[in-house]
Each structure stands twice: as structure tokens, then as C-alpha cells.
Amino acid sequence: MKTKQLCIALLAVTAAFSACKKDSEEIDTVYPTIDLTGTGFPQQCSMIKRGEKFIFKAKLSDNVELGSVSIDVHHNFDHHNHSTEVNDCGLSAVKQALKPFLLIKDFPIPIGQKTYEIAREVSVPADVDAGDYHFLIRLTDKTGWQTLKGISIKIN
Amino acid sequence: MKKIMMLWFSTFFCCGLFAQTYPLNGIVTDDFHRPLAGINLKLNNTNYFALSDSLGRFAFQLSNGRYEVQVNAIGYYAARNQVVVDGKAVQLVLKLAPYSHLLNEVTIKSKAGDDHRKEESLNVELVKADFIQRNLGGSLMNTLQRLPGIKTIGIGSGQSKPLIRGLGFNRVVVVDKGIKHEGQQWGADHGLEIDQFAAEEVELIKGAASFVYGADAIGGAINIKAPTLPAPNSFGADVNLIGKTNNGLYGTSVRLFQRKKKLFFDSRFTYQNYGDYHVPADTLYVYDFAVALHKNYLRNTAGRETGIHFNSGYVSEKFKTVFHLSNSYSKSGFFANAHGLEPRRVDADLHDASARDILMPYQQVNHFKLINRSSWIAKHHQLELELGYQHNFRQEYNHYVNHGYMPPVYPASINIPIDLEREFDKQVYAFHAKDQMALGKHVLQVGINGELQDNVINGWSFLVPAFKQKALGAYAYDKFRLNDRLLLHGAIRYDVAQLNLFSYTDWFFSETASGSVERLVRADNLSRNFNSFVWSVGVNYNQDLFEFKANVGKSFRIPIAKELGANGVNYHYFSYEKGNRTLNPEQSYQADFSIALNSGNWTAKLSPFFNYFPNYIYLNPSAVHDYFYGAGNQVFEYAESEVNRYGGEVQVKYQLSPQLTAEVLAEYLYAEQLSGDKKGYTLPFSSPASALFNVTYAPEKLWGSSAAYFSLDYRITSVQNHIVPPERKTAGYSLFNFQAGTQIRMGSHPLNISAQLQNIFNTRYLNHTSFYRLIGLPEQGRNLVLSLKMPFNFNHQ
């Protein structure tokens, strides 16, 4: 019977296509992590003094290999907020920026590292505006997965 | 009998090429399929009459338009039915119900769609206005995603763009009335500027359709056909009313048309107004930041839309020319607590005061179109010419935020408005000319299309430079009817294109590595020339109960301005997007098959495909950050990689009883990159496998109407674990949707009522291909959609 043959042909094609689905070798789908607990700095609501230096410290890790890390410190006088943390540290009133502190810096991580403790000195000029700031950390792994951590800090 | 029918079809097919009229053929039978001779058939509002012959057959020869067939026969119930003639032969089966039986109205079954499918080696689906009315979604593409293999990339409740078998953006062409629709296809947050109420018939082509629609149709094409012409001597109107509970949408679409004999006009006005949409959640987590939702509303996702359409023209036996004028406008908000992926603190009181206001950030788009379509019939030729002008104007407004090195206070000296984040202004001139010739068993189509684009940008945020683009292509397509069962297709196409990108310099100063400051030049002038040759071959084999089609072809796409020239930070994704000036045109080889069985109560269709790209162009997230141009953001660079894709759709329909049908629609897609940085990974926006189970009950007669239906959809979507940065794995989900409708009479006017209950159980789920997926925004909760349609006929019979 013709219909029967056709049905078999149909099934065969389906089977052939589903057989194509081979399990490819493990691919990395895990995001890297930024750990500021313990000795990490700054932490949510940390206080930083103008005209002084501080050490940016974080434990970075990934399941395969770390990529690079970048920090971005900018003012939040307008309360625009891109904090990824829950509490807001009691924002001061909205104000106009005059000479806000701005720092954008990226740090390569040595090749082949699964974990890396970063410690970098950052100096804050004495003449910048005091107030609410964001400290944004961006971390990638070798594959291109990126984790963001946005922290609210105060500079005074 | 079947052979006679076949013969008829082939005759009509040929006839259609020589004259402007098309046959409307049919057969009149009684309840037991016995032919009825001597039955009087009348086309209302025309002078056409016909009498069925001894075999129950009858025929009309009609020009394009909408007609009403009226049957009056002694001993049978009188009946009227609508039929649309649109460039093809139409076949009807009229079953008359005798007085002695239960009332059984005439059923008209148009096979025009089926015939078209059998003569096309590409995978084609036709969708009519009644499907759109029944399944009305937030946008046309949203409505169409009920079809297997069609998905959307959506943002909010009113905007979405098509994904055909996992390919979207500039890999899918949308053709509106013969001219390619040109908006800002590249952006995931940009919808398609099409009014779904003005779409009467939509043709979906799954798989490469490059040779007709030009470059870009690598993934497929969505062809929104020009509305059918009103019937001669008609004067009428349509009124649509729409309401939705989830986002408080109300809207209307009103149509007014008139046709004398050769002159006509057809106009439509659509207005929709919607508020913020509801989700089944009271708290969301954008990253770890908790966002409390006021009464489950997604803040600032309200919108407005208007559409104005005016078509007018002259129609005669051998010549037709029609002007289509349209303008669609929309203004819609972006979710206020995140602009793209960036969490934002908002003034909750301000936003929550009204669910209908549109505050910052929001987008505003206006799309104007003027198209002229003309056709001539001359002996063996059918000539068509389409000319089009489009103006797409998109503005994205947002509070000024000093990202990166932008000054903390927006300088008064800058003449870009302080709230204008991005603006894209596109003007497109296009033409398409084709000649279709009937040469014995061959039908040969030759054509050329050309396009001229001018793109200007504005706004304080930079992503894509301004550019001009010129493209010209020519094609030839032969359809060879070997015999009644076998059709062969062959097509070739050649394209040339030139793309000119213009330089752009930042309006603000950035800090260099040496500590000095300068205005960065983000784009230099760039001129690229492209040319490409593509081909396609196909076959159709049709038996009584069996249809087979296959198509193999090569297609291509020239890189878009963003792929070549992007050089800025997209704060929607915290990505520094970097174009690649040296990209080659993207090539694709695709094989499509389709096997359909049609036996009595069963219809089944399997459509697998296989697709290979030697150089798929995609935005590759790298491991590095860029300090200078990228303001410390992760570098996303356009790259090419070898890609394999395969998948397919299954459709099975079973008629349990004359009133009850069950249907399964399923789709599967797999993509893998075979080379490059993301070797082993899938492609972005790979939609997960899904299956839709449907049961439809359409009673013969309910409350005096034969048009009632009740339909339940159950869709299961699988988990998507195949991801590529920056995507996230998406859990599977299942949804229930219910549709019902009927036609009632209000005096002498029929009133069509359609209702839908979407997401019946208010299920919280994430859509893998939604713009807001990355910040975990759930999709719309329960939604009741009500739509009314009332046609008016001002011509007294």
C-alpha cells in the first residue's frame, strides 16, 4: 500500500533528523564570580576619603579561565543608580555635579587563571566633589561571559 | 472526475496569465455529495449569473475583488457566501441543505491557497484576515507566531520583529505591497512598523527566498499582500473594535471603500492606546536589585499607535495602477526600572500615578510609505512595476546620563536635545519591475529591483554611523510544468551594492592613555562594493493524497552598516560594540523539504531543513574590556564563523467529526558554530523546541450562526540550554490559550465577534527570545482580548 510506504518514508526522515542531534563536547556556560566578602574592598556603602588612596581588592574566579576586569567609578548625585546591591546606603539629596570623580580602568588578568585576587591601588584627588558614587566592577571570562557588580559608595 | 478537475486547474492557471480575469469554478451538490443541476447562482452587486450544468458545475470569469455568491434553489435553503478573487483561480464546493433537513448552510471552500502551495517549491504558508482576527496578538508578528517555525523577538506588549526558524533581524525580509519594508531591523528593541488590521493576506516563506526578494531574505520572507480590490460598484465600510484586559488596550480600525467600475478608493484608520502591561509577579530582580512592581504593572510599558492608509487607483481589463499611501506612528515606553540591562532608580510615585502615561525612557517611530503598483497584460506577458518611497524616523528619548567620559553636566552649547539619546532617520527609494511570460510549459519570470537609502543619525549616544546605500539586482525564474504531477523550478540572481559610511566624531572629550584629552573619531568614511550571484532549484511532486517539495539554493546578504561601522557603547547591554570594516557578504546554502499526506480525515506535513553558512556574521562578546573607545566596557566585536543549522516543523491535523478537529504543530531548531571564537556554541536567539496542541469545536449551528468556533491551544516550550554569551538558560513552560467567536446579525448587518483568553492560568514564564530576557522580565500574564468586526454595505441591492 502506497500510503504505508509513505508513512515509513516520513518516519525514516524524522528519525534521520533526530539522529543528527549529537551531544557536542562540553561548552562553558558558567558566569565568572566577583567576591568582595571578607577582605574585599570597597564593599556596599564603603566610605572613601578624598585625597587618599585605597586598594581595590576582590576575589575573582571562573570555572574555566578568567578574562579581564574593569572598574568604573562615577557619581550618582542624580540618583540614576545602577547598583546591583539591595540596600541603598541612605542617599544624600540630589545635587549638581561640579567636579565629580571619574575613573575608568581595565586590568588584564594573567593568562590561564581560574582564580585571581586582584589588589590595585586607586588614588582619589582631594579636589573632587564629595557625595554618592557608584563603583562598577565588570568581570569577563575567556569565553566572553560577563558578570557585573555595582556598588554604592560614599566619598567624603 | 479528479482528472477533469486537474485539467481544469491547469487550464485556469494558463488562462490567468493572459487575461486580467480569473475563473471562479465550482460544483453544487446536496448533502450526499450528489451534483445538483440547474441551480441558479448569482453574484450580488454584479450582473453575473450562472446555472449549474448536469454535473453540478458552474463557472464565472472575474476580475480581482471580493464577491458574494448567492444561491436560490427550490427545495433548498437560500444561502450567501463571501469569496475573494486575488490573482488566482478559485474553486468552490457548494453544499445545499434541503428544507427537510436540519439547516445546513452552504460551505465554500477556497482551494486557491492549496494550489499556490502545490506550485511553489519553497515552504509557504498563507494567513488570511480571519486568522489574524482569531489570534490577534500585540503586533502582526506576535499574531503570526502561532505558526510553526515562526517566533518573534519582542519588547513590551506592542512591538516585535519576526524570527523565521531562528533567523531574524536583517536575515528576514518583510515585503509590504511588493516593496521591501525598511525600518531599523538590526535592533532587538525595535518593532516592525506594520498595522495588522490593514493586513488581509500574509504569505510566509520559510527558508531562503533570496532570488525574488533580494539579498537579506536568507532566513525567509514575510509578504504582506496588497489588499484585494473592492468589487465593482461596491461602496462599503468595516468597523473593528478591539479591547485587551492585560494592558488596558482599546482601539479601533475603520475602513471605508468604494469602487465604480474602473476607479476605486480604499481607506483605513487605526488607533490603539494601551497602558502598562501586567506580569504574574510583584517583585523582579534586575541583577540582585529588587524591583517592587506596583500592582504587578511593568512600569512605563504603555504605548499609542496610529495607522492611516489610503489606496486608490484605476483598474481595467489589461491595465491596473494603484497608489498605496500609509503612515504608521507609535510611541511606547521602555521598562523604567532598567534601560536595556542597566538597572535604574526611578521615581516610583511618578510612574505609578498612572498606568497609561509614557515617561522616559521611550521611543517614538513614524513610518511613511508611498507605493505605486502597476500591471499590464499583453498577449503572453504580464508586466508589473512597483515604485516606493519610505521614510522611517525613529527617536529614543531618555534622561541624560553621563556614561563613560561624557561630561557630568550636559553642555548648553551642544545642539542635540538633552533628552534625545538616539535618532535614526532613513529614507528609501525602491523599484521592482518584472515580466512574467508563458512559454508553452514554461512560465518565465524576469525582474530587476533597485534601492537607494539615505541614513542620518542624531542623539548624544553613538552606535551606528550615518550611511548611504545603493543596490541593484536582476533575476530570472523559470517554472517548468513537466506533467500534471511534476513541476521543476530554477532561478538565478545577480546583485551589486555599494555602501558608504560617513565619519563621526564624539561631541565630548575622552581621556587618553597618556592623560591628555581628545574627541574620539569613532567612524571614518568607508566605501565598500559588493556583488553576488545566487541560485536556487526546486521540485514539486503532487499526487492525489501526497505532496512532496524540495528546494536547494544559495543566498547572500551584504553586511549592514552596524556590522561594518559600529563603534560605540550600547548601554542597553553594557557592551562596546565594534564593527569590522572587512566583513564579506554573508553566504548561506539551504535545503528545504516538505512531505504532506492528505488522507480523508488526516493531514500531516513534515518540513525539515538544513542550512550551512560558511561565514555567519554575528556580534561576538570577547574576554577583553576597552578602556578608550569602550569606556571600560566589554568588547563585542562583529566576527564571521562557519555555522550549521537544521530543524523543521511537523503539522498533523485530524478531523474527529465534522465539528471537531485536533491539531498538533511542532517545531525544532538546532544551530552550531563550527569555527571561530564561539566554536561549539549555538547562535544568539535560538528559539527552543515547542509544540502546540489544539482542539477546535465548530458547531454546525449555534444561536443561529454557522460561524461559531471554540478553540483551545496548549503550547509546551522546552528548556533552552543551548546558549551563547551573553544569553541565559531559559526554563521550559506551558501555556493555555482559548479562542472563541461567532457571527451574529444586528438587523441586516453581520457582526463578527472574536474573543481570546491568553495565558489562562496566569503562568509566569520567560521568553528566550525577548529583549527583556537578560534581566529576567516575565512575559504578559492573563489577557482577555475582545474584537468586534462589522461590515457595512451602502449599496442597496
Using a CB-CB distance cutoff of 8 angstroms, which residues of chain B are in contact with residue A60? none
Question: Is the pLDDT at B211 greater than 80, yes or no?
Answer: no
Instruction: Grade residue B26 by pLDDT with cuts at 50, 70 and 90.
Output: confident
Return the pLDDT at B572.
Answer: 77
Q: Are residues B126 and B94 in the same domain?
A: no
Sheet containing A103-108, strands listed edge to edge, beginning at the edge strand earlier in sequence: A47-48, A146-155, A131-141, A66-75, A103-108
Residue B764's pLDDT band, with cuts at 50, 70 and 90, is: very high
pLDDT at B2: 45
Q: Is the pLDDT of residue A13 over 70?
A: no
Chain pair A-B, CB pairs under 8 angstroms: 135
Nearest CA to B486 out of B231, B105, B72, B119 is that of: B119
Does B343 reach chain A within 8 Å, measured CB to CB? yes
Q: Is the pLDDT of residue B463 over 80?
A: yes
- Which of A17-21, B170-174, B205-209, B347-351 is the least confident region? A17-21
Mean pLDDT of chain B: 87
Does A8 or A103 have the greater pLDDT score?
A103
Task: Give me the number of domains chain B comprises.
Answer: 2
pLDDT exceeds cutoff 50 at B6: no
Closest by Cα among B560, B491, B566 to B522: B566
Instruction: Please give the pLDDT value at position B74.
Output: 67
Report chain A residues whose CB lies below 8 A from the CB of B672: 24
Confidence of residue B342 (pLDDT cuts 50, 70, 90): confident
Helix (H, G, I), strand (E, B) or coil at B392: strand
How does pLDDT run across B610-622, given as a tens digit for each residue?
999 999 999 999 9
- Can you give the CATH number for the domain in which B80 is found? 2.60.40.1120
* B627 and A CB contact within 8 Å: yes
Band of residue B737 on the pLDDT scale cut at 50, 70, 90? very high
pLDDT of B616-672, one tens digit each? 999 999 999 988 888 888 999 999 999 999 999 999 999 999 899 999 999 999 999
pLDDT at position A81:
62
Distance from the Cα of B52 to chain A's closest Cα (Å) equals: 35
Same domain, B110 and B194: no
Average pLDDT over residues A88-109: 82
- As a whole number of angstroms, the distance between CA B626 and CA A104 comes to 10
State the Cα–Cα distance between residues B3 and B25, nearest whole angstrom.
15
Burial of A150: CB neighbours in 10 Å, binned 0-12, 13-18, 19+? buried
Cβ–Cβ < 8 Å for B579, B562: yes
Q: Identify whether residues B94 and B141 lie together within a single domain.
A: no
Q: CB of B389 within 8 A of CB of B428?
A: yes
Q: Is B45's pLDDT higher than 90? A: no
Contacts of B546 in chain A (CB under 8 A): 2, 6
Contact A70 B408 (CB under 8 A): no
B593 neighbourhood in chain A, CB within 8 Å: 13
Give the residue from B51, B83, B114 where a domain finishes.
B114
> Which three three-digit cell numbers place residue B398?
531618555
Question: How much is the average pLDDT of B496-525?
Answer: 90
Q: Are residues B548 and B400 in the same domain?
A: yes
Going by pLDDT thresholds of 50, 70 and 90, the confidence category of residue B689 is very high
- Does B505 score more than 70 pLDDT? yes
Whether residue B680 lies within 8 A of chain A, CB to CB, comes out as yes
Q: Which residues of B touch A78 (CB under 8 A)?
A: 399, 401
pLDDT given for residue B736 in this prediction: 96
What share of chain B in percent tops pLDDT 70? Answer: 93
pLDDT number for residue B757: 94
Q: Are A29 and A134 in contact (CB under 8 A)?
A: no
Please name the residues between 53 and 112 in chain A that touch chain B, using a CB distance below 8 Å: 67-72, 74-75, 77-86, 88, 96-98, 100, 102, 104-106, 108
Cell of B527: 566605501
Q: Which of B114, B144, B176 is the last residue of a domain?
A: B114
Question: Does B677 contact chain A (CB < 8 Å)?
Answer: yes
Within 8 A of B343 by CB-CB distance, chain A residues are: 81-84, 150
Lowest mean pLDDT among A20-34, B403-417, B675-689: A20-34
**Cis geometry, peptide bond prior to residue A42 (ω within 30 degrees of 0):** yes
Q: Grid coordinates in use for B509?
A: 572629550
Residues B82 and B153 in one domain: no
Please tell me the CATH code under which domain A25-155 is placed. 2.60.40.10
Of B381, B419, B383, B412, nearest to B398 (Cα)? B419
**Least confident stretch, B305-309, B496-500, B793-797:** B793-797
DSSP at A81: -
* Inter-chain touch A9–B595, beta carbons under 8 Å: yes
Cα–Cα distance, B17 to B172 (Å, whole number): 29
Q: Which residue of A has its CA nearest to B571?
A: A82
Task: Indicate if the pLDDT at residue B215 is higher than 80.
Answer: no
- Choose the weakest-confidence range: B10-14, B633-637, B776-780: B10-14
Does B140 lie in the same domain as B87?
A: no
- Sort out which chain A residues have CB atoms less than 8 A from B623's CB and list them: 67-68, 140-144
A30 touches chain B (CB under 8 A): no
- Chain B: closest CA distance from residue A104 (Å): 6
Q: What is the pLDDT of residue B704?
A: 74
B683 and B724 Cβ atoms separated by less than 8 Å = yes
Confidence band of B253 (pLDDT split at 50, 70, 90): very high
Interchain proximity A70–B343, CB inside 8 Å? no
Name residues whose C-beta falls within 8 Å of residue A19's C-beta, 6 or more positions apart in sequence.
none
B471 and B586 part of one domain = yes
Question: How close does chain A come to B567, measured CA to CA in Å?
Answer: 18
**The predicted structure's pLDDT at residue B263:** 94
Residues 6+ away with beta carbon under 8 Å from A4: none
Task: Identify the weakest region by mean pLDDT among A81-90, B32-41, B47-56.
Answer: A81-90
Please check whether residues B124 and B110 belong to one and the same domain.
Answer: no
- Asked whether the beta carbons of B323 and B313 are under 8 A apart, the reply is yes
* pLDDT top residue among B8 and B419: B419
A22 — pLDDT class (breaks 50, 70, 90): very low
| Mean pLDDT of the region B117-132 | 84
All residues of chain B having their beta carbon less than 8 Å from the beta carbon of residue A2 are 546
Say yes or no: B608 contacts chain A, CB-CB below 8 A: yes
| Whether the Cβ atoms of residue B230 and residue B328 lie closer than 8 Å to each other | no
Output the CA torsion B676→B682→B684→B690 (10° steps): 170
All residues of chain B having their beta carbon less than 8 Å from the beta carbon of residue A85 are 288-289
Q: Which of B402, B608, B672 sits opposite A17 (nearest CB)?
A: B608
Confidence of residue B292 (pLDDT cuts 50, 70, 90): confident
User: What is the rounded average pLDDT of the residues B755-778?
Assistant: 90
Integer Cα distance of A153 and A44 in angstroms = 6
Of B289, B597, B621, the CB nearest to A85: B289
The residue segments making up the domain with residue B32 are: 2-114
Q: What are phi and psi of A78, to 5 degrees?
A: -95, 5
Minimum CA–CA partner of A20 in chain B = B646
* Distance from the A152 Cα atom to the nearest Cα atom in chain B, whole angstroms: 12
Average of pLDDT values for B706-732? 92
Do B290 and B331 sit in the same domain of this protein?
A: yes
Res B106: pLDDT? 39
Domain check: are B108 and B181 in the same one? no
Chain A: residue nearest B649 by CA? A14
pLDDT, residue B404, reads 80
**Å from B685 to nearest chain A CA?**
15
The whole-angstrom separation of Cα B469 and Cα B82 is 45
Q: Which chain B residue's Cα is nearest to A69?
A: B625
For chain B, positions 377-416, list CB contacts with chain A under 8 A: 399, 401-402, 404-405, 408-409
| B94 & B216 share domain | no
Across the interface, do A70 and B621 touch by the CB < 8 Å criterion? no
Sort strands B172-176 and B179-180 into parallel, antiparallel or unpaired.
Answer: antiparallel
- Smallest Cβ–Cβ distance between A106 and the set B545, B604, B632 belongs to B632
Among A146, A149, A152, A155, which would you mutate to test the B interface (most chain B Cβ atoms within 10 Å of its Cβ)?
A: A146
Rounded to a whole number, what is the distance in angstroms from the first to the last CA of chain B?
37
**A140–B721: do the CB atoms touch at under 8 Å?**
no
Q: Which CATH number fits the domain that encloses residue B466? A: 2.40.170.20
Contact residues on chain A for B669, CB-CB shorter than 8 A = none
| Interface touch A70/B625, C-beta < 8 Å | yes
Q: What is the mean pLDDT of residues B393-405?
A: 88
Last residue of a domain, one of B64, B81, B114: B114
| Closest A-chain CA to B404 | A104
Predicted pLDDT of residue B327: 96
Q: Which residues of A touch B342 (CB under 8 A)?
A: 82
